[in-house]
């Protein structure tokens, strides 16, 4: 019984250590999509807010916003270079125009240059302009920018809005990128170590 315990112990310690390393590499990468949520309904023609929150020191000073549907592979490019520096408003108003109704939309917050995803929203609903239901969304934020999205999901469409990148964003983003790569490298290391450990 004792030898069994002893041989299990190092394995547990190693996996705990690897888990800790992987978690600490991601600790600063905190990004929460507050709206839309699963019960949100956006109605074509009415402004509704997108809200998020994120870690202050994560190195992400801007993101690109895309809208996608689970049921189709089309993407709508909503806005590029959305400012999310420390003092920026973490709200962006969206007005949908002629977007097909559906209950399988979600937003992707990412750097589209290299595809690093910061966060995704819950799956939410888009109502037609002439729908008899009311939109279930918060009021738009009068101090935030408003983006009108007219295109139907189509990967060849251009961005509805491109903002100017905030000052200093590139330098800080490089750090964010490095820590993302570190996270990926650690995750790979963990799975390799985990696999090797299982084989032993
Ligand atoms: C929508 O409706 C649900 C209740 O069904 C509510 O919890 C939610 O806060 C509402 N508002 C938004 C913006 O989703
Ligand atoms: C995406 O990353 C690239 C390279 O790090 C950077 O130049 C660009 O500004 C980033 N885009 C956004 C929206 O942050």
Say which CATH number the domain at 50 has: 2.60.40
Instruction: Please give the DSSP secondary-structure letter assigned to residue 74.
Output: E
Q: Which of 67, 33, 37 is nearest to 53 (CA)?
A: 33
Q: 47 has which bridge partners?
A: 95
What is the model's pLDDT at position 27? 43
CA of 127 to the centre of ligand 1 (A): 15
What percentage of the chain carries pLDDT values higher than 70?
65
Is 20 a member of any domain? no
Is 70 a member of any domain? yes
What is the model's pLDDT at position 24? 47
- Return the higher-pLDDT residue of 163 and 131: 131
Residue 131 domain boundaries: 31-176
Ligand 1 atom 5 nearest Cα: 39
Average pLDDT over residues 184-195: 55
Sequence-distant (6+) residues with CB within 8 A of 57 are 28
Res 1 pLDDT > 80:
no
How far apart, in whole angstroms, are the C-alpha atoms of residue 59 and residue 167? Answer: 13
Ligand 1 atom 3 nearest Cα: 39
């Amino acid at each position: 019984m004792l030898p069994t315990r002893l041989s299990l112990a190092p394995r547990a310690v190693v996996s705990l250590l690897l888990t800790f390393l992987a978690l600490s590499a991601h600790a600063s990468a905190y990004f929460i999509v507050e709206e839309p949520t699963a019960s949100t309904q956006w109605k074509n023609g009415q402004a509704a807010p997108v809200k998020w929150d994120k870690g202050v020191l994560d190195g992400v000073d801007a993101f690109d916003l895309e809208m996608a549907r689970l049921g189709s592979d089309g993407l709508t490019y909503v806005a590029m270079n959305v400012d999310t520096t420390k003092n920026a408003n973490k709200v962006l108003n969206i007005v949908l125009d002629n977007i097909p109704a559906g209950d399988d939309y979600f937003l992707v917050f990412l750097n589209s240059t290299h595809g690093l995803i910061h966060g995704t929203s819950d799956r939410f609903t888009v109502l037609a302009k002439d729908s008899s239901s009311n939109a279930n969304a918060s009021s738009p934020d009068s101090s935030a920018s408003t983006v009108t999205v007219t295109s139907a999901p189509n990967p060849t469409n251009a961005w509805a809005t491109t903002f100017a990148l905030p000052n200093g964003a590139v330098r800080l983003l490089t750090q964010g990128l490095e820590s993302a790569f570190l996270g990926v490298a650690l995750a790979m290391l963990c799975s390799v170590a985990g696999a090797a450990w299982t084989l032993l």
